[in-house]
Amino acid sequence: MVIAGHELVGHRLVGQLPPASMVEMWIKCTSRVVKYGFAVEYQDLEPPRTGIFDGLRITIDPDIDFEMQCFILLHLFGHSVQWVSPELHPKLDDLQHTTDRDQFMRALHEYEFEAARFGRQLLEEAGLAHLNQWYADFVETDWRYVERYYQSGEIPPWHECIASDCPAVDPKPIPRLEHKLVKVRFAF
């Protein structure tokens, strides 16, 4: 089956944040991301990619819905921090080099949730701590989606992964960053 460049696998709805809240979040968080030294851009991405990052910029597919764009910005900011912070580099070893499936899944969980904590910190710094429940639900939904993909090898329907009333994501202070080009990574 061929999927057109503007289509996604599944439709992503979590929390259905009001438009005014999304716009406020986008403006404030994009500003913070840029102040941390990352460029933010739009580009048509090949499905199922929704966003990519390379250590210098975060790129988001403009064809995904705006609420997902807001989450992708926060989440890929967190991953960008992980890849350009010298103090976090050793944590990436198990993710990149383990052949043990259980160890990889534990490392992946830690990697995803640490990125989420950096995204949560960005919300905090932007004065948007009141959006933590929305963010916590999105983070858990995203984890269920990623976990199912790595367990089955197939992209699951987003709506089957939706979580609600999830525990809060604690913010984690942003460490020192040394911006550099890294291998392109993507969200799907």
Q: What is the pLDDT of residue 34?
A: 98
Compute CA distances 34 → 29, 57, 100, 157, 181, whole Å.
9, 9, 37, 32, 16
Q: Is residue 157 part of a domain?
A: yes
**What pTM was estimated for this model as a whole?**
0.90
Q: Is residue 14 part of a domain?
A: no
Helix-strand-coil split of the chain, %, nearest 5 = 55, 5, 40
The answer to whether position 13 is within a domain reads no
The answer to whether residue 27 is domain-embedded is: yes
Q: Specify the pLDDT at position 11.
A: 36
* Number of domains the chain contains: 1
Query: Residue 96 has what pLDDT?
Result: 85
pLDDT for the residue numbered 138: 95
Q: What is the pLDDT of residue 187?
A: 84
Residue found under tokens 């993909």: 149
The β-bridge partners of 57 are 39
| Confidence (pLDDT) at 97 | 86
pLDDT at residue 8, rounded to an integer: 39
Domain with 183, as residue range(s), is 19-187
User: Which residue stretches of the chain have pLDDT < 70?
Assistant: 1-15
Residue 99 vs residues 95, 108, 114: alpha-carbon distances, Å: 9, 13, 22
